[in-house]
Chain A
Amino acid sequence: MDYERLLCATGPYEGEILRTSDRKHPHKIAWFQCVGSRRVTPGDNSYCSAVCCTYTQKQVISTKDHVTDAECTVFHNDIRSHGKDFESFFQRTEKLPGIRFLRSYASIVGEDPESKNVIVRYATPDEGVIEEEFDMVVLSVGLNPPADYESLAAKFGIDLNSHGFCKAIPANPMETTRSGIFVSGAFQGPMDIPESVFSASGAGSQCGELLDYRRWKLDTERKYPPEKDVSRKEARIGVFVCHCGANIGRVVDVPSVVEYCKTLDNVVHAQEQLFSCATDSASSITEAIKEKNLNRVVVAACSPRTLEPLFRDTLREGGINQYYFEMANIREHCSWVHSREKEDATEKAKDITRMSIARACLLDPLQEIDLPVNKSALVVGGGIAGMTCALSIANQGHEVHLLEKDTDLGGMARKIHYTLDGMDVQTHLGDLVRTVYQHPAVHVYTDSTITEATGYVGNFLTRVKSERGVSEIKHGVTVIAVGAEAYKPTEYLHGEDDRVMTGLELEDRIIKGEEGLIGAQSLVMIQCVGCRQEDRNYCARICCNQSIKNALKLKKINPQMDIYILFRDIRTYGFAEDYYREASDNDVKFIRFKPDDKPQVEAAQAEDRPVLRVAVSDPILGQKLAIDADYISLAAAVIPPEGNKEIAQLFKVTLGPDDFFKEAHVKLRPVEFGTEGVFLCGTAQYPKHIPETINQSYGAASRALTLLSHDTVTVSGSICEVKENDCVSCGACITACTYGAIEFRETQQGRKAWVNPVLCKGDGLCNAKCPTNAIYLKHFTDEELLCQIDAACLDEEIKA
């Protein structure tokens, strides 16, 4: 955390990495992973904090960003890249020049009195014990429960677990031991941002279930002053240049940008602001609009992605159309990337702002459309995710149509019997299925296939064939919860030899009490089968827990059995680390292998019995081991279903590179799609454990409610329109629009293209295809963009 502050522009040295002791630039930096975590020594945490591996990688990348030739060394245990896209993030970090990842415990010997450098001792298999000097050492400390957790728990009357986090039940990790009190985020246990976000939404949904009868009772409608028509007036622009604390002001000479703006045509007011987004700054913008009679506003600050809605609102407060607003990004596009070239950065900030001012002159007032919202939901997928989400939506007073492609509800959970933390999956599933069928507002369609999906946010129309026959479902929101599948390995004799099975198959055979298996002398589990490799470059997240859970189960039934787990990294993040330790204590043998030296399996004859002989190189012993196994269990990857592509096309949503569904933002919008009104939960997004799925499913329900609970939705004013006089009916725009937003309509001048404003998403692809510029994207018209291009280049001399 200290290092994070060092890297930060608002940190102690304004983003420069310096040693506190002598203000020198460290060049050689080491990170120690798992400090205070994954240990049972007093004062340490026995669990894994789950986030440190990746935050260290982020810091390494950031360091290389600050100091190109920095040498970074990470001393680590297992690399736990179990999050979505984390595997490739790790690979990217590893490939940077001057980066070493060393699997070794390291300790600090002392400080060199002269250089003030830190001497670190560590061991490598090749070179033995080494001492090396580093300019700086960063300790990757884990997450603790909040400081006053005991008094917090006492105040609210909730129970804690042995680690001091909130005691949670796997079937509903947001529920505390006291009804009506919910828990979200890392107080459930160590977790990353997306889990925090969706568990917060999820807890919100559960509150919604309790409080739905009071929804909108405390609400008062916001009143804006009437909008002035300034469309025929000459542009009077106000420019507000933001310091963003030190983020911009430290690099860009903000006052000189302000002065420069005052010299530009149509600018009647320019001022600087410390934080333009602060409430008082926003009100000073509103004041300026009124006092100086401004009819256009330019804010030179950060990316419009986060704050544009806020500033647009400010314009409405000032009584002018919100589309008279333009943002110049002088932070991400300027100060953050040019921290070492202050003068040039100031010039660039002027250029960027000038371009925005030029565009602002041409902006048109636009109106947004309010559409009615159909109050029911469609949930695609009847597994734990789909059912949990459907119930939470239904409990808040909305009809839910739940589609399942199989004959029975349940999905993958039907094959899972127990979890590492002792959840009885079948009982939970049985209860869930029963509640779903008994709920008057949930309509289940089994054996279903979707034949057509049309419509848009608030007004979808989906045609479904199911055991109910052909149905036409109208719904306001869609939730994709189609789940994932298990990879069927072709590796390690799977499918050829009955003694080789996947983790799921092993679980099934344990539950059935198969005698040969339970009485076996030895069993080998091989991890990472079918993933963390080129064609499936991700970690399937659940398999380490699954193998350890099966190993513990078998050890309990037959303590004599020799169990080996061959792994690359054990990823029992969070509290599951305790079970990893328990397995180890119960004599389950863990042997690491490298991806370029995978285990070999062949059928062989031992002295007393036929066996499967597993050959594996042990990197610690440095020699090849041969293990005679009676059975082999493969931790087969979790893979996206074949049908994902079709579902994605039907509902106009996107898939990531691994063919899992791609959320709108991996951290901040983990249950939403870019496509409005469509939400996502469960393993359709990425492999995850059942409690995580339940968190996310409530989260998706909560986000769906934000639409369903309203009577109308607002559609952006930045959409396309056709100048009928210029349209030559060539249809180029129609073929370009995958949203199907454009069609021909008969007019008095013949057949002309027409844009359905509700379906248009404002991508503007059609504009670039139209030979006569007849179709135009409002707010991003040719004129607006061309004048910006013109304003980019000041030098009349070089204009051709």
Chain B
Amino acid sequence: MCSGRVDLEFILRAFSNGTDGVFIGGCRLNECNYITHGNYGALSNVLIFKKIMEHIGLNPDRLRIEFMSSGDGLLLADITNDFCKQVEEIGPLGKTEGINRKILKFKLEAVSKLIPYVKLVEREKLRVPFQSEEAYNNFFASEKVNRLFNELILDKLAVSQIVLLLREKPLSTGEMSEMLGLNPSEVSRHMNSSSRHGLVRYDNSQKRYALR
């Protein structure tokens, strides 16, 4: 089994279980144990998931990937100690970030629903042309990818969260933006487009949005 086998869903499940930090260890880049260089796949998944974490208000430093060989025992020990220290400093998942448990659950559930779609976007739009760690980091930090990511994934993620919230009860834009920690104008934008798509309706009597 390769580090590239680590599914976005595995990372998500660990966080959903309340784990404060997730560490993925892979073979050194360009020294693949197979011939697939699947560790780049793992790197790409980590960089994608970090962006998602940022979006839902979780500290992306809670997720870390490192590459080492079977001879790098000491390095693994150092990195593990370092990561544990770092996660301890960050503190308990959600609490530190000021997200209450119920909302965090909504958010993570929304991410879960989106994973198949993220995989498609990754394949179509987020393949890095060069195989080096630097190229991957630069690629995922680039303006172009950020824009793509916002348009293709984060918007959908926001809508997905909103829909999950509205399933409980109708809410106003303000309430939603506060609960999800999203910008009110963002929420309005999503509500407008979701109304147009017939996903939600505005209940004039309650002055709130509700699911159709």
Contact = CB atoms under 8 A, between A and B. Distances in A.
A86 to B, nearest CB: 12
A148 B117 CA distance: 71
Contact of B123 (A657, A769, A780, A795): A769
Given A61-B74, A732-B119, A800-B101, A765 B17 contact: no
B82 to A, nearest CB: 14
Contact of B17 (A653, A736, A790): A790
A35 interface: no
A793 interface: yes
Interface residues of B, number: 43
Interface string B76-103: 0100000000000000111000000100
Given A768-B7, A769-B119, 18 more contacts: A65-B74, A65-B77, A653-B35, A654-B31, A674-B34, A761-B34, A765-B5, A765-B38, A768-B6, A772-B116, A785-B10, A789-B17, A792-B17, A798-B18, A798-B92, A799-B18, A800-B18, A800-B93
27 contacts: A648-B35, A649-B35, A653-B35, A654-B35, A732-B119, A735-B123, A737-B36, A763-B34, A764-B1, A764-B5, A765-B5, A765-B41, A768-B6, A768-B7, A768-B8, A768-B42, A769-B123, A772-B116, A782-B9, A786-B13, A789-B17, A792-B17, A793-B14, A799-B16, A799-B18, A800-B15, A800-B93
A656 B31 contact: yes
B17 A793 contact: yes
A767 B7 contact: yes
B120 A730 contact: yes
A652 B13 CA distance: 34
B159 interface: no
A220 to B, nearest CB: 35
Given A736-B36, A789-B10, A768 B41 contact: yes
B52 interface: no
B85 to A, nearest CB: 15
A222 B102 CA distance: 59
B181 to A, nearest CB: 15
A355 B9 CA distance: 18
Which of A654, A675, A730, A790 has the most CB atoms of chain B within a 10 A radius of its CB?
A: A654
A790 B13 contact: yes
Interface string A760-798: 011111011111100001001010011001101101011
B153 to A, nearest CB: 13
B138 interface: no
Interface residues of A, number: 45
Interface residue SS majority, chain A: loop
B116 A771 contact: yes
Given A730-B120, A732-B123, A765 B16 contact: no
A739 interface: yes
Nearest to A768: B7
A764 B16 contact: no
Contacts of B120: 730, 732, 771
A654 B17 contact: no
Nearest to A332: B73
A735 B127 CA distance: 12
Given A768-B8, A800-B105, A674 B41 contact: no
B14 A789 contact: yes
Contacts of A350: none
A782 B6 CA distance: 10
B33 interface: yes
Contact of A789 (B13, B31, B36, B122): B13
B161 interface: no
Contact of A777 (B5, B13, B105): B5
B60 interface: no
A475 interface: no
A657 B31 contact: yes
B210 to A, nearest CB: 25
Those 7 A-B pairs whose CB atoms lie nearest each other, nearest first: A798-B18, A764-B5, A763-B2, A793-B17, A765-B38, A765-B4, A771-B116
